[in-house]
Amino acid sequence: MLSVASANHTETFTELGKRGLSAEEVGKRLSRQVQRYLKSKACVDEYTADQLLLPMALTGGGELTARNISEHTRTQAHMIQQFLPVKIEFDEHLIKIRYTRCAFRKKQLPI
């Protein structure tokens, strides 16, 4: 496990070993994960991005950059938009969450 701390958050990376895989190789894989993240200049890794969508949608929206926008993140965004009055947009590595106008129609109940 390796953590990269910045002013606003700490991003943690893990790599698990398995039978037949040397400790050196596990360390190299972990190092490559961290290097990709640091080179990207993104705020969060793709695994953190999908976890932040719901809290951001519930607390007023915002923007963040992710190293990669995964299909899981896109699916999460689609599901959130089905239940909350938000619009989630993707632009390369940028994710934007904003509230949309929420208008409820009053239905007339048959008497």
Positions marked catalytic:
72
Contact 68, 33 (CB under 8 A): no
Contact 3, 10 (CB under 8 A): yes
Q: Whole-angstrom Cα distance, residue 51 to residue 64?
A: 12
Residue 51, CA distances (Å) to 42, 74, 103 in order:
15, 12, 28
